[in-house]
Chains A and B, each alone.
Chain A
Amino acid sequence: MIEGITIYEILTLTTILFFIGVYGFLTRRNLISILISVEMILNASVVNFVIINKYLYPDELQGVLFSIFIIAVAAAETALAVAIIINLYRQISSVEVKDTEVMKY
């Protein structure tokens, strides 16, 4: 428990971070920027888990452990995403989202 900070404030913080990540995901043109935004979303959710764990259930550890898994999965996913981006770059020599609109009508 952090002195002087209520749970509401931290939850507000994570919410704002989450939605900034969403905004970035929907707005950015570059694939890597989108990746960065995804990282931000994931982090916000990790903090959410941990905070709930600490404030409401301090004797349990599920939140922490689950967060460890989330971090692991996020890392894996980022690695794969980078691999795909590199492959895509080889095919179309660009990492802009607008060049990947092959599946339109």
Chain B
Amino acid sequence: MIVFAIAAVSSRRMLRSVVYLLFVLVGIAGIFFLIDYNFLAAIQLTVYAGGIIVLIIFSVLLVHHIELKLEMAKPLRQIITAIACLIGMGTFLTTIYSHQFNVIENNVTTTTAQIGSKLLSYSEGGFILPFEVISVVLLAVMIGAIIIAKGKKLTNKSNN
């Protein structure tokens, strides 16, 4: 997965970068499967791997010459960024490794029914409110995306 991730960010061809991302996402879905979070894995595959990748591919096709080689940033910039990332990574890993996690061994499988009932429960610990808010957000995003993507023609027509 890491290999594909690195390839995704350093590839010089746009479409290949997208495909590598797809592989990364599938890999992550695999991790979810291993954890027995089947519902989540399914969502990952449907929404991410299916929807977002398709969206990105469409946009690539709209704005891009397939044959065009992408430029990379200047080497100096790459090195500095790489160093910063390595330092950050070092910080993170040191913190993680120095912490004692109380791992509870178990084999609990979470079913979809459990997730669903939790999502829509009114009682304490229920996620009904975020659920509703997310719906509104998605609505707003849809409308916004349409308006932004329509561009000038929309405004001209409304002025006449």
Contacts and interface: CB of A to CB of B under 8 A. Distances in A.
Direct chain A–B contact by Cβ atoms under 8 Å: yes
Interface of A: 1-2, 6-8, 10-13, 15-24, 26-30, 32-33, 35-37, 39-40, 43, 46-47, 50-51, 54-59, 61-62, 64-65, 67-69, 71-80, 82-87, 89-90, 95-96
Interface in B105-137: 105-108, 110, 114-115, 118-119, 125, 127, 130, 134, 137
Name the prevailing secondary structure of the A interface residues. Answer: helix
Contact of B18 (A36, A56, A80): A36
27 contacts: A1-B103, A1-B106, A8-B96, A8-B97, A12-B96, A13-B2, A17-B5, A23-B81, A26-B84, A28-B73, A29-B70, A33-B14, A35-B56, A47-B28, A50-B37, A55-B101, A55-B104, A58-B104, A59-B108, A68-B40, A71-B44, A72-B138, A75-B51, A78-B52, A80-B144, A83-B149, A84-B148
Nearest to A6: B103
B77 interface: yes
Contact of B78 (A27, A54, A95): A27
A87 B62 contact: no
Contacts of A11: 96
A40 B1 CA distance: 11
A62 B2 CA distance: 27
Nearest to B78: A27
Contact of A65 (B93, B108, B127, B138): B127
A73 B137 contact: yes
Nearest to B92: A15
Residue in B1, B21, B125 with the greatest tally of chain A CB atoms within 10 Å = B21
A27 B55 CA distance: 23
A56 B62 CA distance: 45
Nearest to A97: B73
Contacts of B6: 20
Contact of B96 (A15, A17, A29, A57): A15
